[in-house]
Each structure stands twice: as C-alpha cells, then as structure tokens.
Structure 1
Amino acid sequence: MLRCLVIDDERIAREGLLEFVKQFDFLHPVGDYANALASIDLIKNKEVDLIFLDIEMPGIKGIKFAEMIGDLPVMVIFTTAYPEYALKGYKVNAIGYLLKPIFFEDFEKAVLKAKKWHELMHTDDGESEYLFFKENGVSHRIVVEDIMYVKSLQNYVQLFLKDKRVVIVHNTLKAVQELLPAKKFIQLHRSYLVQKACITSIDGQFAHVHSTALPIARDRKQLLAELLTQRAAGDF
C-alpha cells in the first residue's frame, strides 16, 4: 500500500488527483494540502510514501520543497502545467512528471512505476533496515547497520561506512540523527554520531571505532560509561 499525499494550491486539481487515486487499490490517500510546508510534519514522521507535488505554487515552489525533503524516504511525482520544468524535476530525483491537464492513462503509468520502485526499495532479507541518502543528485541506498559513524561538516555530513566508503550528504547532523534508530546510535559530540555496536574501545577522551578516535563531549562521558556497562552485560 502506497500512502499518498497531494499538494497543489488549486482545489480542483487536488480533487481531480484524489479521484484518480481512488481507482487503485494499492494507493491510500492520507491528505491534501494547498501549501507544501503544512505537510512537512506528516512527511518527516514517515507517514507518506508518495507525493503528487505541484511546481508553481505561492510561497515555496515544488522544486524547492522536493530539495528540502530529498533525504527522506518518500517518492515525488510532479504535476504541473509547465513542461519546461521537466529537467529540473528529474534533477531532484522525481520518479514521474505529469503535465496538466492530467489524463488517467498517464497517471496510471506514473503510479505503476511508483509501485514498482517502492517494491524494489522494500525488497530485502527482512532483517536489514536501510535509508536513502542523496549525494551530488544521486540517491544511495544505505543499510543502517553499515553506518559506523557520522561526522558533521556544517551544512553537510559524512557517512563513514563499513566498506570504507564515505558518502557526503547535504544535510545537518540533527536531521540525519532523526532518521537513524535512536536505540542503535549515540551522539558523542556536537559533530559526531556513532553506531553503538561499532565502538571498539573507550579511553576517557575518545571513543574508538577500530583505528579512528572520535572525541567525547564532557556531558556525554557518563552516558558512555553506562554504554560500557550495557555492553558488558550483553545488551548491545
């Protein structure tokens, strides 16, 4: 089931898309908005799989909004009366582009593509959690267990992976922390998140991930001591 959100400043356009959505048993509407920013909490809470997003709207434009949510696990199909936006739309990894007036046949092709893409993203061994992070306009499927630690570089973060890759993401450390499971990751310092299971040793000032020493903030030392106790007890 794909949970769908319609964002368009024109009420008639929203109603038309919702009528199309009702024709497919694998689509479930979760809301419609005239203003994109009003939907941000719903999207951040991972309650949406697919957004039908208008481009030309008062306030924040659809392209800009798609860039804002680019690192969240949600698919975007642009809906617009302006064909010149197509290239920009695909640069922000939209999976579809519907030109108004939207015909049912075109809508059907777009949502079937979304369904296939969603199934591909969620085909796994049933155990691994993963997220999509965008680097230089390309989305990378990253298994959460493969992230050893995350380093903040102001408006960017670096994801250090077990296979020695480093993925650079245009996002804040706080935003990435919200995506990662809190039970598995801990913030050691204002610039570092680390996967608890990847900490190989702690020497007071630093937590070591193999040969890499990550600084520990003073207010984190007690928490790290508790983690060591948990590890000794076999809790992680």
Structure 2
Amino acid sequence: MIRIVVIEDEPLAREHLVELLSELPGVAVVASVENGRLGLAGIAEHQPDAVFLDIEMPGIKGTELMHMLPDPRPSLVFVTAYPQHAIEAFAGGAVHYLLKPISRVGVAQALSRIRPKDEPLQKEWLRLPVRKKGATRLLRPEEVEALVADLGDCMAWTPEGRLPVDGTLAHWEERLADRGFMRVHRNALVRLDAVLEMTTEDELVLATGRLVISRRRMDEVRRTLGL
C-alpha cells in the first residue's frame, strides 16, 4: 500500500487529485491539506511513502517545503501549472513533475516512478482510460483487444466498440509491453491472446475487427505466434 499526502491550495484541484489517486488499487491518501505548513505537519504525523504537492502556494512554496523535509524523505511528485520549475524540482530529488490539468494517465505515470517496475502492484494499477458517453471508464488491459492510432487519436478496440483512449500509442506500447501487447503496424498494438486467426492476406483477425501486419513486423509477429 502506497500512503500519500496531498498538498494543494486550490480546493477543486485538490479534490480532483485525491479522486484520481483513490481510484487506483494499493493507494491510500492519508492526508489532504491546503498549504505547506499543514503539509509538513501531515508528513510528520503520517510518514507517507509519497507526497503530491503544488509549487505556487501561499506561505511555504512546494520547492521550499522540499528542502525542509528530514531524511528519509518521501517520494515527491510536483503537481503544477508552471513548467519552469521542473529543473529545480528534479535537482531537489523529485521523482516526477505533473503539469496541470492532470489526467489519469499522468497520475499513473507518477505512481510508476514511486515503486519499481517489478512491483506486483504495478500490474494491478494499470488501467486504460477510455471515453464513452461523456464519462471516462477505466479498462483493464485484458478488456482491450487492440490500440489503433487514427488521425492523431488513439482508439481502443473493445467488445463495446472502438473508444477513444487517453495517451499516445507510443506511451501505451511502453506501458503494455509485459501485458501481451505487440506492435504489428506503426499504427497498431494488438493483444496477442485476442488473435483468432492470421489470414493469407497477412491480417490478424480479432473479435473486434481485422488489422494488417506491416512487412517489417511480419517475421516477429509470426515467430511470436509460433507460425
């Protein structure tokens, strides 16, 4: 369980960040406060694993608070609208720097910096945020058969239809590398255990549609599928 303190002076931004963190398994927000003074008190009381904090706050700024923490320090993730502080933040030991407006993908990336990649919970956390009927749904990787780049958007092929997903194809290729997904074309990732058939026209048949395999990927795809 990752125990987190959130320090953010804007009430709506603080509430949104807490909501995104609380959606993820293995995460507990143990304190949520509006300024650096209360943040220092919350860190001392709860001894969290990580702190998500704003930079521009009344009183103690986030970059000032960073230098006031005794060792061993929690992992620090800055959440700010100001990109110009990134060098100072990383020089002070921050593990991640989130620019507002924040997204589920950004929060998941931050959490991946806090725990090592071989942490079992990394796989449990991973969700693909898709948009459907004005809401954002979080799908497990096994609920998605393919991810396809379409005119700049990334579409998740699912039994419920083809749904827009936050994040680029390159981002998801990295995140899903150990979840059975493989690049079969410059515009497509496929979950290999969703493949039903490979046609003589070099297409992969899925329950949700067909995808062409590029020539440069053909040998690797065939080898991986045992063909």
TM-score bin, normalised by smaller chain: 0.5 to 0.7
1:21 aligns with 2:43: yes
Letter in 1 for 2:212: P
Kept in 1: contact 2:50–2:75 (CA 8 A): no
Residue 220 of structure 1: SS of its match in structure 2? Answer: helix
Q: Per-residue displacement from partner, 1:17-63 (whole Å, max 9, x unpaired)?
A: 244223225x3236878699xxxxxxxxxxx99956345x46389xx
Alignment match, 1:160: 157
TM (normalized to structure 1)?
A: 0.52
Alignment match, 1:194: 190
Q: CA deviation at 1:221?
A: 0.7
Task: Give the CA RMSD over aligned residues.
Answer: 4.3
Alignment match, 1:185: 181
Aligned residue runs from structure 1 range 4-153, under 5 A: 17-24=39-46, 27-29=48-50, 53-55=79-81, 57=82, 59=84, 65-67=99-101, 69-74=103-108, 130-135=126-131, 138-153=135-150
Letter in 2 for 1:133: P
TM (normalized to structure 2)?
A: 0.54
1:213 aligns with 2:210: yes
CA distance in 2, matches of 1:18, 1:153: 46
Q: CA deviation at 1:66?
A: 3.2
Q: Per-residue displacement from partner, 1:38-91 (whole Å, max 9, x unpaired)?
A: xxxxxxxxxx99956345x46389xx8134654244499xxxxxxxxxxxxxxx
CA distance in 2, matches of 1:203, 1:177: 24
CA distance in 2, matches of 1:135, 1:28: 31
Q: Per-residue displacement from partner, 1:108-129 (whole Å, max 9, x unpaired)?
A: xxxxxxxxxxxxxxxxxxx976
Letter in 2 for 1:226: R
Kept in 2: contact 1:155–1:170 (CA 8 A): no
Q: Would the alpha carbon gap of residues 74 and 24 (structure 1) be closer, same or farther in structure 2, given more than 3 Å must change?
A: farther
In the alignment of these two chains, the number of paired residues is 161
5+ residue gaps, structure 2, are 10-34, 57-61, 63-73, 87-97, 111-122
Letter in 2 for 1:29: A
CA distance in 2, matches of 1:20, 1:129: 25
Kept in 1: contact 2:127–2:138 (CA 8 A): yes
Residue 138 of structure 2: SS of its match in structure 1? Answer: strand
Q: Per-residue displacement from partner, 1:121-140 (whole Å, max 9, x unpaired)?
A: xxxxxx97640415387431
Kept in 2: contact 1:3–1:28 (CA 8 A): yes
5+ residue gaps, structure 1, are 37-47, 77-126
